Amino acid sequence: MAWTETARRDYGRRGLRYASDCADDEWSVVAPLLQPMSKVGRPREHDPRTLWNAIQYIATTGCQWAQLPKEFPPFTTVQYHFYRMRDSGLLDLINEMLVAVTRLSEGRKAEPTAAIIDSQSVKTTEAGGPRGYDAGKKIKGRKRHIVTDMVGNILEDIVHGGDVQDRDGAPDIAPNVRQAARPKSIRFYLWSVSWPFSQLRANRAC
């Protein structure tokens, strides 16, 4: 992407404490989806935007929870809210909304009608999930099977050890895409010719 004045305006992070912090226009999209403050129990101690910025900092930098800067709430508090958002499906809902907003801003329909399935192997440590050796790419770590729309917005993903071949791991993501709310509009899928066409087609149709 050329670093034009338009790009600078759209992607510039000046004025933010950290580059991962939510700008005002970004927060206006996310804020309505976050759970409102409960009317029972103790009042919430931390601002939802501060908690969201802390989660974005972890996701962007990949740092350990305990290394979260002191400007944010205690890492155990941030961790609790992150797991709650993940387990309730709220993070998936936020991703769906962001995909729709992004597509509309580009003059496309909110819901994609075509998607691409691909994989990526990345180096990782032993902690935090499955790990294996990808003999093809000679990488020890994890393999991510990802479904995106035609412009690269992530619709669904699943993580395996790096030793799981595409013919074995790719079919696992098809049921996830089928059950997700937004990709129900998808009518066409594109994937590598080396992948198991019959299994992908069968799993997508189940």
Sequence ranges of the domains in the chain? 18-34+45-88, 111-205
Q: Which one-letter amino acid corresponds to residue 35? A: Q
Instruction: State the Cα–Cα distance between residues 105 and 189, nearest whole angstrom.
Output: 23
Question: Does residue 185 carry a pLDDT above 60?
Answer: yes
Q: Around Cβ 42, how many Cβ atoms within 10 Å?
A: 6
Indicate left, alpha or beta for 41 from its phi (over 0: left) and psi (-120 to 50: alpha).
Answer: left
Where is average pLDDT lowest: 67-81, 97-111, 119-133? 119-133
- Adjacent-strand bridge partners of 62: none
Measured in whole angstroms, the distance separating CA 105 from the mean position of its chain's CA atoms is 19
Over 50: is that where the pLDDT of 205 sits? no
Whether the model clears a pTM of 0.75, i.e. scores above it, the answer is: no
CA separation for the pair 178, 162 (Å, rounded): 24
Pair of tokens at residue 190 = 């594109």
Does 51 score more than 50 pLDDT? yes
